[in-house]
Amino acid sequence: MSKAFVQVTLKRSILDPQGSAVEKALRQMDYPVEAVRVGKYMEVTLRDGLDRAEREAALEEICRRVLSNPVIEEYTFSWEE
């Protein structure tokens, strides 16, 4: 089995009201924050028997079609070694 760690965030050009609310709260608590963006984190385990190219292709499609909205979000992923 292969485990991937996926992070989905809003594109920089998209306003992040949740991030803004967290940022405001942290500033009111006197934390020295510059900016906050809120996103999603997922762990995806793929079944055995896939080579590296098949794993990459499957996860790319999963991220693009299911885990993110490519119009407003972007994603990155890494693999457990």
Higher-scoring residue by pLDDT: 1, 42 = 42
Q: What is the pLDDT of residues 21-77, one digit of tens each?
A: 999 999 999 999 999 999 999 999 999 999 999 999 999 999 999 999 999 999 999
Degrees (nearest 5) of the Cα angle 39, 42, 43? Answer: 155
Three-state DSSP class for residue 27: helix
Residue 75, domain CATH: 3.30.1280.10
pTM value?
A: 0.84
Per-residue tokens: 71? 């119009």
Rounded to whole angstroms, how far apart are CA atoms 39 and 50? 29
Q: What is the domain extent for residue 10?
A: 2-79
Residue 21's pLDDT is: 98
Domain count, the chain: 1
Confidence of residue 1 (pLDDT cuts 50, 70, 90): confident
